[in-house]
Amino acid sequence: MLRVINLFKRSRCRRCRRFKFINKCSCWCSYLDSKSHDHAKKNINQNSNSKSCKEIPKVLLPEDLLFDIFSLVPLNCIINSTRYVCKTWGTSIRSSDFAKVYQRNGRSKLGLYVEKRMEESSSYFLDIKDDMSGQFERIDLGTPQTMGDLISTCDGILLLSNRCRQNFVVNPILKCWLRIPLFPISHERIVFRDQFIIARVPCTDKFKLFSLVIHVVSGAFWYVFYALRIGIDNSWKEIARKEAPLKGFSFQRPIYSGGNDLYWITNEEVIVMDVDKEIIVREYSFPPVSTLGRPPLKSLWMGNCLSCIVYKDHFQKRYQIYTLDFDSGEWSLYHEMGPFNYVAASGNQLNIMSAIFRLWINDQIIIRVAIRPIRNMLTNEKNIHFSYNVKTKQLTKIEGIASGDFEVWLHTNSLFSFPSTPT
């Protein structure tokens, strides 16, 4: 009797929750359990014999196709995840060929590098969405303050110099950097800090540093040019020299066009140097339109030509922009601007100390205005940045840059690196 009772003892199935007798169920649960158990055993046997099995061959995509696929990926994904997937992908992303493809496909957008020269803060990048009065996307870069102030930038690579005369090249996106050999200084050389510039040779994609110094030889002055190939040369080498005028020297920051031409701006002329061959190829004089014998205020690169800003009326702060025709060597009037109403553009009363034309991006000219509070003249100056649209003649305060000790540069976030970097 007890045996019969046990046979009819009921319990619930763990899968379907139906009642079953002992281990038998009217549903498919017991069948599925047995199949799952057999499948698990089969997997265990396969894993145990995996060493004897042949590996599945990997399908490797052609490098150019891989580059095209990667160029569709946002930059932050490339930096933070894609390059860490495997060694093959990491090697491809670190190559200069991919950096060119990424830049050529328009993934590396031109924007503004906002340099904070205060020790308690870091620099950042402003990606311009529409125009200077539109929306911005801010990307914090966190360049180490100990590397010094920014001197020049080219294709995402920064040239920095600190108070100890140490120079560094940095890619703030890749977080890689390289220390540059010190420039030789002697009593015969007059070294200008703002006459150092970084450029990239288009045919080799190698980065170079150039500098202009004044040599004093037997009472005569010479413009002497030096160059250094980043990651290759261990010292600076002289590449060219030109006799300088005996009167006072006045320089603007050199201008790199992004191609093969480098422009040195003196107080009398524009000296054009070939970045690849490292020789002087042409010289242009400035337009003879400056008032009161003043040299041009500023030379800026417009994107495809060189521009020169001069005073039309010094007292009323009216200006003229001339552009250079490289074939004929002639300057032509491009635009007239000013006087600027900075108070109306900012919406505040300003005590303006100076205004400097900094750079040209798209149809906008960026102007750095140094101000000082009207009620407290003993406080330090602060910079406010405005943009002037040469098409609409509208002056606008750039809201993406706060007032303070800031400097603004043209910059492109890129994936270019150096031949070797410190570990």
pLDDT digits (tens, 9 = 90+) for 402-423: 888 888 998 888 888 876 544 3
> What is the token pair recorded at 324?
């250079």
Q: pTM of the full predicted structure?
A: 0.77
CA 83 to chain centre: 19
Spatial distance between the Cα atoms of 236 and 43, rounded to a whole number of angstroms: 65
**Coil, strand or helix at 50:** helix
CA neighbours within 13 Å on the CB side: how many for 367? 25
Tell me the one-letter amino acid at 60. Answer: L
The winner for highest mean pLDDT among 57-66, 143-152, 355-364 is 355-364
Spatial distance between the Cα atoms of 51 and 64, rounded to a whole number of angstroms: 35
Spatial contact of 292 and 312, defined as CB atoms under 8 Å apart? no
The winner for highest mean pLDDT among 21-30, 247-256, 322-331 is 322-331
pLDDT at residue number 1: 41
CA distances to 31, 168, 338, 419 from 186, in Å: 91, 21, 44, 30
Of the two residues 186 and 293, the one the predictor is more confident about is 186
Q: Is the pLDDT of residue 21 over 60?
A: no
Q: Is the pLDDT of residue 28 over 50?
A: no
CA neighbours within 13 Å on the CB side: how many for 211? 26
Read off the pLDDT of residues 177-224 as tens digits, 9 standing for 90 and up: 899 988 887 777 788 888 999 999 988 888 999 999 998 888 788 999
pLDDT at residue number 316: 81
The residue behind tokens 């976030």 is 413
pLDDT at residue number 22: 41
H helices within 16-83, ranges in order? 29-48, 63-70, 75-80
Of the two residues 144 and 151, the one the predictor is more confident about is 151
